[in-house]
Amino acid sequence: MKKLFPALFLLLANLVLVVATAAAQDKPEMADVMRSNGKIYVVVVVCLLILFGLIGYVFRIDRKLSKLEKQSKD
Amino acid sequence: MHKSWWKIAAVILLVYTIVGGFLMDVPRLFILNESIRNLYFHVSMWFTMMILFAVSLVYSIKYLRSQNHKHDIYASAYAGTGTFMGLLGYATGAIWASYTWVTDQGQSLSTILKEPKLLGAGIAILIYCAYFVLRGSFNDIDKRARVTAVYNVFAFAMLFPTIWIIPRLVGSLHPGAPGSESGNPALNFNDIDSRLRMVFYPAVLGWTLLGVWITTLKIRTKLLAEKSLL
């Protein structure tokens, strides 16, 4: 009988632990830390800069082509 | 710069795609976690490819009806940008799959990449690569235009069994295959969360407009270069 209580207690504690970890796994892991400390904005700025660089490049080619088209028309 | 309103629209939509795509709320899912945001980039590439190939097909048929050499230039330029977008879609998909499909059950990326959806997509892109090989093998412009226009119709028709039908018939890890819950080989429109839709549709439109913009530049260069022929 003396040994039964600690055994029961251990079992109970184990059950609680299993339930707790299951509850923790219920929520998929997301990059919440990155969002809360604002580092995500660094990513956004870098991607935007790359996008603007590419768009600017396409824009310049467009302008040059328009000039060439005008020249060949004359 | 002519007809520039849709170019401005493309820029605005792409800025919205990146800002909204990184900062807006997304569904919390297991395995995918934060990588669900790839939907705005990886899937949009394939949508853009499909749209550009469809435009290419229309110009090929127009060429066959009219024998107007301009339509041949349009068709080849749209097919070129479409193939490029397809390659980007394939590469981004490979990266995404290597982080979400490889589990801890002793798989490696090489076993994962033997997927019906990926093989089909690879075949589809190779068929379009063959279109350019075929174009390069002709000296006679008229013959080249006519044969490749017919081949382009075949290539577009081959897209459907390779990337839409076969992955639907056999099991695949790709969302939409019989193994997964939805029934559509790319994605099920009833399945997408409305939060994802808020960014996804503008993203598709933005990337498509950028693809069209680049294509028009290629067309205009070609028209300038071949001015004496036209």
Of B2, B14, B34, nearest to A31 by CB-CB distance is B34
Q: Percent of chain B at pLDDT above 70?
A: 90
Model confidence, pTM: 0.85
Query: To probe the interface with B, which of A44, A72, A74 has the most B CB atoms within 10 Å?
Result: A44
> Measured over all CA atoms, what is the biggest interatomic distance in chain B, rounded to whole angstroms?
63
ipTM of the complex in this document? 0.82
Q: Mark A3-27 as b/e (b = at least 16 C-beta within 10 Å).
A: eeeeeeeeeeeeeeeeeeeeeeeee
Runs of H (alpha helix) within chain B: 5-23, 42-66, 69-100, 109-112, 116-136, 141-159, 166-169, 194-225
A59: which chain B residues are within 8 Å (Cβ-Cβ)? Answer: 1, 7
Residue B86, pLDDT score: 96
Gap from B35 CA to chain A (nearest CA, Å)? 9
A65 CB neighbours in chain B (<8 A) are 217, 220-221, 224
Mean of all residue pLDDT scores within chain A: 80
CA geometry: angle B150, B155, B159, nearest 5 deg = 150
* Closest partner CB to B220 (pick from A27, A43, A69): A69
Structure tokens at B213: 């913009």
**Amino acid identity, position A48:** L
Cβ separation A47–B18 shorter than 8 A: yes
- Interface contact flag, A30 B224, Cβ < 8 Å: no
pLDDT-derived band at B230 (thresholds 50, 70, 90) equals confident
Question: What does the DSSP assignment read for B15-51?
Answer: HHHHHHHHHS-----TTTGGGGGGGGTHHHHHHHHHH
pLDDT tens-digit readout, B158-174: 999 998 888 878 777 77
Is 90 exceeded by the pLDDT of residue B227? Answer: no
Instruction: Please report the number of interchain residue pairs, chain A to chain B, with beta-carbon separation below 8 angstroms.
Output: 54
Interval A20-60: pLDDT, tens: 555 555 677 888 888 888 889 999 999 999 999 999 999 99
- Measured between alpha carbons, how far is B128 from B89 in angstroms, rounded to an integer? 15
Contacts of B169 (CB under 8 A, 6+ apart): B178
pLDDT at B183 (0 to 100): 46
Average pLDDT, chain B: 88
Cα A5 to the center of its chain, rounded Å: 47
Q: How far lies B13's CA from each of B65, B148, B154, B200, in Å?
A: 36, 34, 33, 10
Q: Is A46 exposed, middle or buried (0-12, 13-18, 19+ CB in 10 A)?
A: exposed
Q: What are phi and psi of B38, to 5 degrees?
A: -60, -20
pLDDT, tens digit, 9 for 90 and up, residues B191-210: 667 888 899 999 999 999 99
Confidence band, pLDDT 50/70/90 cuts, at residue B177: low
Using DSSP, state whether A26 is helix, strand or coil: helix
Chain A contacts to B (CB-CB under 8 A): 27-31, 40, 43-44, 47-48, 51, 55, 58-59, 61-63, 65-66, 68-69, 72
